[in-house]
Structure 1
Amino acid sequence: MEKTGGEPGGVLGDNISRSKSLFETVNSSHQYTIKGYSLAKGMGPGKYMTSDMFTVGGYQWAVYFYPDGKNPEDNSLYVSVFIALASEGTDVRALFELTLLDQSGKGKHKIHSHFDRALESGPYTLKYRGSMWGYKRFYRRTSLETSDYLKDDCLVMNCTVGVVRNRLETPRQFSIPVPPPDMGSSLRELLKFGIGSDIVFVVGDETFKAHKLILAARSPVFKAQFFGLIGNPNVDKIIVEDVEPPVFKAMLIFMYSDELPDVVELTGSISMCTSINMVQHLLAAADRYGLERLKLLCEGKLCQEITADTVAPTLTLAEQHQCAHLKSVCLKFTAARENLGVVLQTEGFEYLEQSCPSLLYDILATVAADEDSTHASRRRSSSSYLGLTLMDGVDSSGRRTRRRF
C-alpha cells in the first residue's frame, strides 16, 4: 500500500477513515413496595418474595426480597435484597442501584449504587437467566425494624438498572439534497401544453385539452362518464354548459396539481368581489364533479371572506350545495344584531328570498337562539323586533313594507 502520511505514528493524510465505538447505558427504574412486612417474617432463610417483572434494555428484571435472609448461616439476622435477570440472556452487563427509602421525610435514604463511581472490574455481568446482583446482608433486621425506613409496617425500595450497550458510529460520507415533491407541477405542465391529451372540453368560447385517466382518477363523475357502465371511453369532445371558462380552468388546475389556483392569475383582477365570486362558482363546480377536497377548500376560503354584501349569496350557495359548516357560519354572521339590518337591504338577500325562501326561517331560528343567550328580560321584546325587521322591508321612502314568503 502506498504511504500517504508522514513517519509511522505521525499524522495521516486526508484520506483517513474514522469510526467510533460508543458505550452507554439504557436506564430505567422500578419501585417495589412491601406492605405488611411483619407478616412476611418467619418465612425462613432462603425464602423470598418478588416484585413484578420490569423491562430495561430489552431484558426483564425483578427484585427479590428475603425477609429472613438468603444465607441460613446468618440465622435471620439480616434481610437480603437482590436484582435478578428474569428473561433469557447471556453475559448481560449492567449497573445497579438499590435504594431503601427514608419515609420520615428527612431524605436519609440507604443507597447502594454502581452509578457515578468508578468500578475496578467494570459493570457487573449476569451470565444467564436467574443470575442475581445484590446483598445477603442488606440490612440488620433489628435495626431496620426500628428505623425510619419502616413506616406503617411498609417498606419501599427503588431499583435502577442500567444495561450496557455499545454501538459503532461512522461519519456521514456525503449528503444528497432532495428537492421537494413536484408531481403536481409536472402534471400541471401536461395540462398547460396538452401533451398526450385525449379529451377536449368546449366551455363557452374556450377549449381545454385534458387526459381522461387523470380526470377519472380525481373525479367520480368523470370516471363514470369515461369508464362507467354507461360511459363512453371513445368520446373525444365534451361541451360543458353552466360553467364559466375561468372556473372550469381553475377546476382543471386543481385536479392536476391538488392546489387551489391563484384567482388573480386566472381572472387578472385583484377585486375582492371578483375573487369571492370566482370561489363561489368554483365551489359549485366542485360539487358538480364530486371534488370534495376542492369543495372544502372553497368553503374555508368563503368563511374567511364573509361580509354583509356577500353573506346572503354565500348562504344561498351553502344551502344549494349542502355545505353545513359554511351555512352555519353565514347564519351566525347574518343573525348578529349589528349585521342583520344591513344584510336585509342587500341585493343578495333579495335573491335569497326568491331562490331559497326556507332560509328565512333558518335565519329567524338563529336570531332566536342568539337572543336566548342574552338577558332573559330582553329576550321577548328583542326577538319580536328582530323578527319583524327580518320579515318586513323598507322601501326607498323609508316606509316599512311587508315581505311575502
Structure 2
Amino acid sequence: MDSLSMVTATGCYQFKVDHSKTHNMGIGEGIISPKFRVGQHDWTIEYYPQGYEKKNNGEYVSIYLVLEREYVDVRATFEFELLDKLILAAQSPVFEAELFGSMTESNIDCVKINEMMPSVFKAMLDFIYMYNGSLSVIEKLDDCEESISSTTFLQHLLAAADRYAVEKLKAICEYTLVKSIALDTVLSTLELAEKHNCSELKKDCL
C-alpha cells in the first residue's frame, strides 16, 4: 500500500463513569478511559466533571478524545453523547442523591416531580443542559400552561432552583427579581425571599 494512502475507519466506544468517584473532583481533575482501538490506533477519552480550564469556573463539563501515539498523521471526526443523569447529578446535589445515592436502585430511569408546574421544571432543565450565563423569562413564558406574569414565573423558578440546589439559577432569579420589585409584587417577593433564604432580595424588599 502506498504510504500516502488514506485509510478510513469508524468505531463506537461506551465509557461508563462511576459518578461516586467524581463527586469531590475539582477543576482540571478528570478520569481517563481504558484504551480502545479504532483505525489501527489506540485512543482514550478524558472526562473532567468540573471542566478542564479554571477560567470557566466549573460551569462546563470537558471531554477530550486523545490519540495515544505521537508523530502520526491522523484526523478524527467524533461525537460525544452524555447521559442525562450524569449532567443532572453534576449540577444538582439533590438530583445526585436521587439518581446515584446509596439507597437508589442502579437502574432507576424515572424521578417523580411533585408540586411544580411542568413549564417551570422544563425551564430549570433547559438551564442545566444549555446554560449560557443568561435567562430569557419571556421565552419560557411561551411554554407556561398558566397565564402568569414574568415575576410570578421567576418566583416559581427560584423556588425550584432552591429545591434542587441549582445555585447559579437561583442567583440569576434572585438578581432578576430584585430589578422587578414593584408595589404589587413586593409582599409575595418578600415572602419568597424569607422562605428560600435570599438575603439580598429580602433586603431590597424592605
Instruction: Give the TM-score category using the shorter length.
Output: 0.5 to 0.7
* Counterpart position of 1:330: 205
Distance 2:106 2:188 in 1: 38
Displacement of 1:197? 8.1
Displacement of 1:234? 1.3
**Contact conserved, 1:251 with 1:286, CA < 8 A, in 2?**
yes
Matches within 5 A, 1:5-404: 211-259=84-132, 260-268=134-142, 274-331=149-206
Distance 2:106 2:151 in 1: 36
Distance 2:182 2:196 in 1: 20
- TM-score, length of structure 2 as denominator length: 0.55
Counterpart code for 1:316: E
Moved over 6 A (4+): 195-198
**Contact conserved, 2:190 with 2:201, CA < 8 A, in 1?**
yes
Counterpart code for 2:125: L
Displacement of 1:196? 6.3
What secondary structure does 2:102 align onto? coil
CA deviation map 1:42-101 (0-9, x unaligned): xxxxxxxxxxxxxxxxxxxxxxxxxxxxxxxxxxxxxxxxxxxxxxxxxxxxxxxxxxxx
Distance 2:104 2:131 in 1: 25
Counterpart code for 2:86: L
**Contact conserved, 2:158 with 2:174, CA < 8 A, in 1?**
yes
Displacement of 1:258? 2.0
Distance 1:288 1:326 in 2: 17
For structure 2, the 5+ residue unaligned runs are 1-55, 61-79
**Contact conserved, 2:135 with 2:172, CA < 8 A, in 1?**
no
Displacement of 1:296? 0.8
**Contact conserved, 2:124 with 2:160, CA < 8 A, in 1?**
yes
For structure 1, the 5+ residue unaligned runs are 1-180, 185-194, 199-210, 332-405
Aligned length: 126
Say what the alpha-carbon RMSD is for the aligned residues. 2.6
